Amino acid sequence: MNAFYDATKSYEENYDHGPFGLFADPSFVVEIKKKSSLSFLGFAVDLPFGIPAGPLLNSRFMIAAWRAGFCVNTYKTVRSEVYPCHPFPNVIPVKSSTNDIHPQETVIGLPPTNDIDVEKEGVTNSFGVPSKPPEVWQQDVRLAIDHMSLGRICILSFMGLKKESMSRDEYIKDFVNTYRLSQETGAQIYEVNLSCPNFGSEGLICHDLQMSSDVLEALHGAKKNTPLLVKIGYFPYDRQDDLEALLDRIHTFADGVVAINTIPAVVLDEYGNQALPGSPVRRVSGICGVAIKWAGLETVERIVSVKQKHGWRDFVVVGVGGVVSPDDYIAYMKRGVDAVQSAVGAMWRPTLADEIQRMI
Ligand SMILES: Cc1cc2nc3c(=O)[nH]c(=O)nc-3n(C[C@H](O)[C@H](O)[C@H](O)COP(=O)(O)O)c2cc1C
């Protein structure tokens, strides 16, 4: 098996014993042969490519990813308190009547396997953003950074923890508290996950301009000398005005945007039952991989055109979604992004950074 995350094992087994496959082999070292000196948000970077928030569960995964030539890597989203993972399975392939999967479409979820052709099959992931307690992840991020070399980047992703009893203000305060805890690690860059559930009503924070604006303004007040990125989800074309208004807020309070997170779809088994066990919230699950490439490419094109329209020269755009081959990396870069990240593609194709550097 080449995959560095074993989809047939629980999250805890992956956390405790991973990474697997090529990432477990210390002799798998990819030297990036730089053709020019590049920088990302002021930091030297050998290749503006890496792995977004999620698949790199802890320092062992981060160190293995840097060693494998993935340079711009994000430590998985952390919270202000310990938080459990959804039950196994957490990553399964999905089948759809079309290659591209669209928001709220119904797809068939298949049994977990490590035998996935990421160039053809989409995947759904459903973890519920588990987190270790802050003292554990803080120490672990520091450990990762101690092993990072020049030309590699560590981004730490975080989000607020929404509790039943909380007010909207308390939820925002938890974002700020988690940001403060995150900044104690000394990571180079932070990333707030706004593609997570909103307070009160259904939906994502990034789809609620007022809430996004309030969270970002509060974070701005706690911002130190390090850049802050904002992870957002897909916006359908009929919400272009909302996307532009959100980007304006991000430009005011942060340094750039990471787009996109997964696309929500209804995932059923072949008998029409909820495919992922446990809570009914898992009936709708985030699709990632090749099936959402259309949405990632479309989104960054729209973001880059807003950036150009306003002349936001320093505003950073990171393209994510369906990058499963070197051609996909090139397609994103051609759209004017500053860096590209791949989650599902990298998980099943751990040679991807090496393949990209050989092609460009
Ligand atoms: C195993 C896995 C775990 C993920 N966990 C997170 C997470 O904790 N925070 C986050 O912002 N995105 C998370 N994501 C979403 C990815 O960062 C990315 O936005 C999405 O998978 C689309 O990229 P892809 O098509 O390259 O997979 C996760 C994705 C995967 C596959």
In one letter, which amino acid is 234?
Answer: Y
Q: Tally DSSP H helices, then E strands, for the chain.
A: 10, 15
Give distance in angstroms: CA of 142 to centre of ligand 1: 22
Q: Is the dihedral of CA 67, 68, 69, 74 positive or negative?
A: negative
How many structural domains does the chain have?
1
Indicate the pTM of the whole model: 0.98
Give distance in angstroms: CA of 318 to centre of ligand 1: 13
Tell me, yes or no, whether 194 lies in a domain: yes
Q: What are the backbone dihedrals phi and psi of residue 312, each rounded to the nearest 5 degrees, phi first?
A: -80, 80
> pLDDT by residue (tens digit) across 88-124?
999 999 999 889 999 999 999 999 999 999 999 999 9
Give distance in angstroms: CA of 50 to centre of ligand 1: 12
Ligand 1 pocket mutation, candidates 92, 262, 293, criterion most atoms within 8 A of CB: 262
> pLDDT by residue (tens digit) across 271-289?
999 999 999 999 999 999 9
Nearest Cα residue to 8 out of 118, 123, 127, 113:
113
Residue 295 has, within 13 A of its CA and on its CB side, a CA count of 24
The ligand 1 site (C-beta within 6 Å) comprises 52-55, 76-77, 91, 125, 127, 129, 157, 193, 231, 261-262, 288-289, 292, 320-323, 342-345
Nearest-CA residue for ligand 1 atom 3 is: 54
CATH at 212 = 3.20.20.70
Tell me, yes or no, whether 328 lies in a domain: yes
Would you say residue 34 has pLDDT above 90? no
Question: What six digits make up the tokens of 108?
Answer: 């068939």
Rounded to whole angstroms, the Cα distance separating 42 from 3 reads: 32
> pLDDT by residue (tens digit) across 322-347?
999 999 999 999 999 999 999 999 99
Give distance in angstroms: CA of 209 to centre of ligand 1: 22
pLDDT band for 36, please (50, 70, 90 cuts).
Answer: confident
Tell me, yes or no, whether 3 lies in a domain: no
Instruction: Give the pLDDT of residue 97.
Output: 87
Peptide bond preceding 103 in cis form (omega within 30 of 0): no
HEC letters along 96-146: CCCCCCCCCCEEEECCCCCCCCCCCCEEEECCCCCECCHHHHHHHHHHHHH
Nearest-CA residue for ligand 1 atom 14 is: 54
> pLDDT by residue (tens digit) across 220-250?
999 999 999 999 999 999 999 999 999 999 9
**Higher-pLDDT residue of 2, 296:** 296
Tell me, yes or no, whether 4 lies in a domain: no
Nearest-CA residue for ligand 1 atom 19 is: 261
Tell me, yes or no, whether 263 lies in a domain: yes
* Domain limits for position 130: 11-359
> pLDDT by residue (tens digit) across 169-206?
999 999 999 999 999 999 999 999 999 878 876 799 99
Tell me, yes or no, whether 283 lies in a domain: yes
Give distance in angstroms: CA of 292 to centre of ligand 1: 12
Give distance in angstroms: CA of 320 to centre of ligand 1: 9
Instruction: Give the pLDDT of residue 161.
Output: 95
Instruction: Give the pLDDT of residue 40.
Output: 97
Tell me, yes or no, whether 6 lies in a domain: no
Tell me, yes or no, whether 2 lies in a domain: no
